[in-house]
Amino acid sequence: MGPHPHHHHSSPFHSIMTRRAALSVALGSVGSILLAACGTQGSEGSSASSTGSSPASSPSVSPLASSSSAAGSATPTASATPSDSPSVTPSGSPSESQAASASPATAHPSVESSPESLRCLVNKMRPFAQIDWEPNDLVDFEGQQLRAEAARAAHTMMDAAKAEGVTLTVSSAYRSYAVQQQTYQHWVSVNGQRLADQLSARPGYSEHQTGLAIDFSSPEGCRLEECYEDTRAGRWLAKNAPNYGFILRFPKGQQAITGYLFEPWHYRYLGKDLASRYTVSGAGTLEEFLGTGAAPDYAS
């Protein structure tokens, strides 16, 4: 799509972006929802997602305890090489990382398919299997909600930025299925469905529903606009976020893979271990890192 697909829409976009910026329900850097339904059919996924009580707490703890097991390799962090190799060959077979644990990549939902997993991938091709799934370990976070581990990491990161004179604020974090329905409908009514689909995820397809995504902002302005890339906050995040377990989810020029325009404000929590493997792998997108294939548009 070329490095700057967004510039082609600069005029219509400008008004769009501005309205988008005006919405307190941050458009939501739209869901990074991926081809593989996060959510459900896995035993871990379904029991936790349907009950939302204690069973889920172990899964939600396990991804943290194990960004490594969450990383798809049977072995812990030490297995950087094995688990990196899949990532390094982003375009490899459907999911070499999945292949480590289940030979046919699609036979069983892998860790990526469980919404509790830090590897959970949601995008235009991969809605939540349980469409209105909710995390069971949400905590209050900067006037929003976020899963507990991601919230702790984000606070640590925001404190580190502050120590360097950079103020990070939060525009949006966890959004439920119902809230995403309202957000998406707003953009459809403002821009029509075709453009709305480049700006906002359909309900059940939004990464914000994982409780692991944050739209950052800053007193410098450029809220939910591409110019956020050039603010001190945007530059600080681009350079430092992976050290705290966060990756830029919708990079510039990757719309043909992620399905979304460049969003320099939208960061996704993977945990330090996985974020570090992602960085080392050289993959341009989470889709490539996990080997799931591109998700440029909805199946229907």
* Ranges of each domain in the chain: 5-290
In this prediction the pTM is 0.68
pLDDT (0 to 100) of residue 163: 98
pLDDT tens readout for residues 141-190: 999 999 999 999 999 999 999 999 999 999 999 999 999 999 999 999 99
The band of 114, judged by pLDDT with boundaries at 50, 70 and 90, is: confident
| 9 DSSP 8-state letter | G
pLDDT at 4: 37
Specify the length of the chain in residues. Answer: 300
**CATH architecture of structural domain 5-290:** 2-Layer Sandwich (3.30)
Torsion of CA 38, 21, 138, 235, to 10 degrees: 90
> What value does the CA radius of gyration of the chain take, rounded to a whole number of Å?
18
Condensed to tens digits (0 to 9), the pLDDT of residues 26-78 reads 333 333 333 345 754 333 333 333 323 333 323 322 222 323 323 333 323 33
CB atoms inside a 10 Å sphere around CB 227: 13
Comparing 30-34, 210-214, 239-243, 260-264, the range with the smallest average pLDDT is: 30-34
Model pLDDT, residue 111: 52
Report the alpha-carbon distance of residue 153 to residue 155 in Å, rounded: 5
